Each structure stands twice: as C-alpha cells, then as structure tokens.
Amino acid sequence: MGRPRTGSVERRPDGTFAGRVLMKDGTRSPRIPLDARTKKQAHGQIAAMQAVEDRERTYYLAKVGEVVLPAPDEDLETVDAWYARFAASQECGAGHRRVTGKFWGKWVSPILGSKTMATLRAEDLEEVRDKLDVTLRGGLLQPATARNIWSIVTAAMKAAAHAKDRSLRVHKSPIYVGILPPRPGRSRVRPWLYPTEWLTLARCPQVPADWRRVYALALYTGLRPNELRALRWEHVDTTAGLVRVTEAWDPEAKGIKVTKTEAGHRVVPLRPELLPLLRERAPDDELVLQIPWTRIAQRLRVHLETAGVSRPRLRATSATEMPMDFRALRDTYATWRALEGADVLSLKRELGHEDLSTTDAYVKEAASHRGAAVGEPFPRFSFGSNSQNSSQAGWRVQNSFKKQVRMAGFEPAEIEDSSSNSGVSRAPESPIGPRSADIAPRYLPGLGDTLGDYAAEVTHLALFLEDLELGHGPEINSRGGGEA
C-alpha cells in the first residue's frame, strides 16, 4: 500500500501560502489559498484537503463540469447559508415560509447544513432520504410529510442549478436527479359524510339552524375553509348560479389575501339545492359567513353526535385515518360530485386543484362506494320550523367564547355579553332551568362514567350553553316541554 497523498504547498511572493491537491486523474488542482502562518500549518491544511478530495473528488468533479466551485477568494458558503438566501427569494405566503423553514431546520439542516453548498453531492441528499425512510418505518412520520420534506429539498437543488437569480446557481445541473424519493405509504385520510347522514344533521332541531346553514354552504360549494372565511356576498351571483373564488383567509397575516395559485382562482357553479338559502342574505353584510372560526371542527363533531350521526369512521383516529372535521365537508362535496358522475377534469377545476392526482383520489373513493346505500348526492334539504325563527339569513353567528363554566352543578359562573357595547359581564339566568332541562339530555347524549367521557360531556355542555346564550340553541316551547 502506497504512502497517503498529502498535496503540495508553496509560498507566494507576498508571504502567504497556497496548496494544490492531487485529483483522481493524476493531475493537480488549481492553487488553493491557505490560512496558515507557518509552512507546517500549511502542510497540515492541504493534507486535510487532500483527504477530502480523495473521498469526495470535489475538484475533479469541478474539472469535468459536474459542480461549480466558488472563486478562490470567495468564502465557501454552507448549505444553510445558501438556503437562507434561497428562502428569502421565494414568493410565497408567511405560512408556507414558516412551515418549510421548520421542516428544513428539523430534517435537512442537521445532515446538510454545515456542508459546502457548491460541493454538495447526490450522496449527501441520499442521507436525507435515508433518514426519512427510517423515520417512516418507525411510524414517527406521515408519508405526506415525508413527501413534503423531500419536495423542499428537490426544489432547493433545482434552484441551485437553474434559479432565475443567478447568484443562487452553484451547480451545473440538479444533483437530485436519479435519486429515488422516500418510501411511499398511505397518508391519513379524512372521512366524508353520506347524504343520508347530512339529511339527519340538517333536520335535527337540537342543532342550531345557523350552524346547519354554515355546514350546508360548505357541503354544497366545496370551497376550502379559508376560502369560505373570505367569501364576500359580492362574489355570490344567485341569479346566474355562480360563485367567484378569488380570495382566501391568511391565518399567518390574519387577513384576506388573493388565492395562492392560479388554479385556486376560479368560478364554481352553485347547486340549485343551495340557492334558496343564499337568497336569504342579511342586509349590509359584507362577508357571507360571520361566525367564530375557533373550535369549528370540534363543534361539528358535537353537532353530528347530537343529531345521532355516530358512524365509527367519523370518529376514527389511526395512522391512516383522521376524524371528521370542517375541512372534511369539502372532501364530502368532491366525493358526492364523483358519485354523480362528474368527469375528473371538471371536478379538478371546481376544486381548484393543480395536480390531477389529487382529484383522482376522490374519484377512486366514489367508485368504491358506487351502489352502496348511502343516499343520493346533494339531496334537497330543509331546516323545518327552527329555521324560520332564527336570525335573518342565519349567516351571522356571534362569537361568545369568553366565558367560564363552573364545574360544580354545571352552571356558568359568568358570561361576557359579546353582543353589547358595554363590555360589562352579566350573570345570566341558569341555562339548566325549566326551559332547557328537557332538551339538555338530548344535546348531551349521556354522562359517561370514565374521566374521558366526563371531559367529552363537559365539552358538549360548554357548546350547548354557548348556543343557548347566543339565542341559537334548539327550539323549545314556552313550557319547556320539548320542540316547538
């Protein structure tokens, strides 16, 4: 075995040192400036560089045009430093920037962050991929999350070769090409409501009619929750039967923004079953839905249970299943449209998808239920007498979450009157009184014996008390003897 290669050192006329390493093909590299005060230090530095070259072949790859080295007088930029410049150049929302930065910091930076960006190799990216695979096998990461992390890596490496900002270009070609992505797997999926289940919820007098209107709008338009939150009446054309989707709520900036993709900017046909409800709009309202958007998924689950919709899949939580939430109403719309026989391209446009494979998932789900006794999609519905006595249009549900519930006796200790301008707290009449005593057991389907059941029933009760305080509770007659 021959003597290890150590490179060569020379002293420059100005007294500084430079070194050269021997490359794979037997030739020497360009002179490399060394930060050394003595010849001994210079030999130590170039010997370390020779060892790196023997392992990574950086200067050889630069010679044959596979990587681009910075000029000798430039600092060697780390991957993390380069990514910081790349992330700052991206045109995206604050939420996207925050999430991608979090993923990069947790999954990519510990492996690649301290390496030199210009000399990064495909083998380095494979280390990231391998870490994701190990975590996926351990069940500690969802496949969809792994795919998102890998897409962050590949997008960065693509920019490192072809970015419009030429200062970001440090590679001749994307180094991720040819690397297999993380192992595939099934991500968690949401359930969807059967048409028969929706009719049960729509007809339940114990569920406030105003909230049933909210669910109807989500179910029969298929808009994303943040699109519904930003929807204005000026975008709803009940004469033509169309709704224009141009804006969405930005949870990071806490304001309305334009839709993030070109596909998201679209015109959606209004279902004829929904038109009578939309024509009840209240005067002078700008936004279609003026509701409290906190705890909305929890509220929907409580309302489903109150209505007796108790299919186990709606509550299932596992590595591949998610429980019912407000976002699942959009999934329900997509599945119902596929059950109707809508072609996949039309459905893609309605939903504002960029990728056809996203839409195809709903088509496959509908195909697996075709012929099942789930009811006809988009059934006509009515809310009965309860809807006649609620506020005009029923789209305005005031926020009244600032309250305390005294556990002893299940009575509210104090409720802030959010509908008044005085800001003075008032002690309301006991909601568990003559008028509500008969309906509370139906709103709270049995007090459980376990601690978990107890907590669930307290949640039911808190929402029940809130709806009563707002005047959106279930209809009862003047004697408290049941439904009107």
DSSP string, 88-99: HH----HHHHHH
d(CA 445, CA 438): 12
Give me the pLDDT at residue 204, please. Answer: 94
d(CA 399, CA 439): 23
Strand ranges inside 353-474, DSSP E: 403-406, 411-416, 425-426
Give me the pLDDT at residue 138, please. Answer: 87
DSSP string for 129-183:
HHHHHHHHHTT-S-HHHHHHHHHHHHHHHHHHHH-SSGGG--BSS-TTTT---SP
**Residue range 428-450, pLDDT digits in tens:** 333 323 333 344 444 444 333 34
The tally of CA atoms less than 13 A away on the side-chain side of residue 477 is 5
The two three-digit tokens of residue 122, written as one number: 């495909």
d(CA 130, CA 83): 21
Low-confidence ranges of the chain (pLDDT < 70): 1-2, 66-76, 281-284, 384-484
Give me the pLDDT at residue 457, please. Answer: 53
Provide the 8-state DSSP code for 67: B
Mean pLDDT of the chain: 78
User: Are 261 and 273 contacting, i.e. CB atoms less than 8 angstroms apart?
Assistant: no
Give me the pLDDT at residue 181, please. Answer: 93
User: Are 300 and 192 contacting, i.e. CB atoms less than 8 angstroms apart?
Assistant: no
Tell how far CA 318 is from the center of its chain. 18
Give me the pLDDT at residue 115, please. Answer: 87
Contacts of 31 (CB under 8 A, 6+ apart): 10, 18, 19, 20, 72
d(CA 270, CA 280): 15
**Residue range 130-162, pLDDT digits in tens:** 999 999 988 888 888 999 999 999 999 999 999
Give me the pLDDT at residue 437, please. Answer: 37
Return phi, psi of residue 413, to 5°: -75, -40
Instruction: Please choose, from the candidates 464, 470, 457, the residue with its C-alpha nearest in 3D space to the C-alpha of residue 416.
Output: 470
Contacts 24+ apart (CB under 8 A), 402-409: 403/465, 403/466, 403/469, 405/458, 405/461, 405/462, 405/465, 407/458
**Helix ranges, 243-393 (H):** 275-278, 296-306, 328-340, 344-351, 356-369, 385-388
Give me the pLDDT at residue 71, please. Answer: 52
Number of Cβ atoms within 10 Å of the Cβ of 152: 20
Buried b (16+ CB within 10 A) or exposed e, 433-467: eebbeebbebbbeeeeeeeeeeebbebbbbbbbbb
Helix (H, G, I), strand (E, B) or coil at 426: strand
Give me the pLDDT at residue 283, please. Answer: 56
Give me the pLDDT at residue 465, please. Answer: 57
